[in-house]
Amino acid sequence: MKTQVRVFLSYAREDQALVESVYELLRKKGFAPWMDVRDIGPGEDWQLSIRRAIRRSNFFLAFVSSHSVSKTGVLQEEIGSAVEIRKENLEGETYLIPVRLDGTELPTALEPFQRVDYFAPDGPRRLLRALGYRPSRAAAYVTAAAGVLILAALAWALWRPAAWERFRAARAASGTEPGSAAIGLTVWNLRATAPEDRPSARVIVHPEDSGEISLTPVRVSQETELPRDAKFRIGVESSRAGYLYVIDEEQFGAAGSGAPLLIFPTTRIRGGNNRIGPGELVELPPADIRTPYWELRSTNGDYRGELLTVAVTPEPIAGLAIGEGPLKLDGTTVKRWQAEWAMPVRRLSSGGAGATPSEGELAARNVVGRRLGLNDPLPGTLFVVEAKPETPFMIQAWIKVAKAGN
């Protein structure tokens, strides 16, 4: 394989940590990857540097995710430049490769090009092959041996209980087996109460501008696009004991993201206690405040929803001045946490859309030490993370706003 094959990496800022792992993989395999945060030096004209790097690259990787499809500006300009370069000089040759980081559909401009699903089990291998990488004979022997080990590991994994059963079992034990961790997330949409709804599941609120309103939380998929002004709340569980942190960032189109806000812990929820163990349920916002829900609302007309970052750390994060309300965080600090703690995540859905909270969920929410049982409903989405014991881990979930007319 030629050394120093130049590969341009085009991505959304929210995907930086994962794309940097691709950068390192390519570098170790002998490629010359180019990424703005790694290869633009202080004082350089960044726009000129990007255009020059695109022109000089042998391959252009367009990373597609739920974050990138909502972006306009520089990211779309990079993709447009790549499409034009292919038309001008490289007709019939592989140059532009869409690389999906999740199940998001390709934008129209990238539909003609064969994609690589990097999140698939063989995603990294297929990407390397698309770039022309061929291992040496010695490496091939190592790969074959690794394949045997992988098959053995797969057989072992198939024998072990499924991820959902391990998560359910963790509720009843002190934790889950070393090396695995999971975060459960349930999204509740609060709709008008129907006559058949159980009284215990109903939420009675008294808005200042109207009389008494009765609402009922119902489960929705984390992928559901909620209408603008929808009222919602979330429930969070962890299969591993630690300290829970939830960060929220408003998402816009061309404007990117709003300031990161730490919405948990606060002193008004569990008295500020963010220690969480398997089976404990943290519900945000809490049911006992005047407005026990959030609304998908913004004065920005290009509002796309909320990006939630959920982290579990073995020790409390020092230096956070927790108060009654959300705490504005430094964006650089949050990006550092994301770069250090983010890792590949497998996402599983339990279904159950339309269900109202069970009695067990109602009794356990935000009660320190109160645990859900084996027979209580599973969270709507399970994010399985291969994190080492006693290390922080995090996941991200996007609560989307439906586009006008949907």
DSSP labels, 289-332: SSS-SEE---S-TTEEEEEEEEEEESSPPTT----SS-EE--HH
Distance CA 132, CA 59 (A): 10
Which residues make beta-bridge pairs with 238? 183
pLDDT band at 308 (very low <50, low <70, confident <90, very high): very high
The arithmetic mean of pLDDT across residues 357-386, rounded, is 90
Tokens of 371: 């645990």
Assess whether pLDDT exceeds 90 at residue 273: yes
Instruction: Please report, rounded to a whole number, the percentage of residues in the chain having pLDDT higher than 70.
Output: 85
Q: By the 8 A CB rule, do 83 and 108 touch?
A: no
Distance CA 317, CA 286 (A): 22
Name the pTM for this structure: 0.63
Confidence (pLDDT) at 46: 87
Residue 216 pLDDT class (50, 70, 90 cuts) = very high
CB atoms within 10 A of CB 42: 4
Q: Which residue has the tokens 């300031």?
A: 259
Q: What is the pLDDT of residue 152?
A: 47
Instruction: Give the max Cα distance, the chain.
Output: 76
CA distance 389 to 312: 12
Q: What are phi and psi of 184, to 5 degrees?
A: -100, 135
Q: Stretch 158-171: mean pLDDT, rounded? A: 70
Question: According to the model, what pLDDT value does residue 87 have?
Answer: 61
The reported pLDDT for the residue numbered 137 is: 57
Q: Which domains does the chain have, with CATH numbers?
A: 6-130 (3.40.50.10140), 163-401 (no CATH)
CB 5 within 8 A of CB 27: no
Q: Kindly state the DSSP code that residue 281 receives in the 8-state scheme.
A: B
Assigned token pair, 270: 């569990």
Nearest partner of 96 among 80, 82, 117, 76, judged by Cα: 82
Tell me what percent of the residues of the chain surpass a pLDDT of 90. Answer: 39
The rounded distance, in Å, linking the Cα atoms of 169 and 374 is 7
- 4 vs 396 pLDDT, higher one: 396
Higher pLDDT, 43 or 162: 43
